[in-house]
Amino acid sequence: MHYFQGDEATARAAIDCGFYISLARPLIRLPELQEVAKVIPLENIVLETDAAPQPFKKYRTNWTEPRHVRSVAQTLAEIKGISIAEVARVTTGNLARMLKLERLLN
């Protein structure tokens, strides 16, 4: 689910339907989303930037860009009590599976 900011029940329902939960910059600033991220299995998470230009946002500083993925990964690592390397490894693998690109990881 793109740019997920929902509650735990919505996340679990999406996972039950076979969706991945995509987390982005809101994870850094929303405590309620951090609580949801605690209970979502890492195997069901991908990270994103929503990096296309966002002209509807008044200030460019509010845009989410590729450079923010590391901060999102670091926040998720802290929430889950694991290394950022583990977050990167698992979420990259999840993305490859989601896009049917597993062969590129070998």
Phi/psi at 61 (nearest 5 deg)? -65, -20
Widest pairwise Cα distance in the chain: 42
Q: Which of 9-18, 19-28, 51-60 has the lowest mean pLDDT?
A: 51-60
What's the average model confidence in pLDDT over 71-95?
Answer: 98
Of residues 25 and 61, more confidence is placed in 25
Q: What is the pLDDT of residue 10?
A: 98
pLDDT tens-digit readout, 28-82: 999 999 999 999 999 999 999 766 666 666 666 666 778 889 999 999 999 999 9
Ordered domains of the chain (ranges, CATH)? 8-105 (3.20.20.140)
Q: What is the pLDDT of residue 68?
A: 86
Q: What's the pTM?
A: 0.86
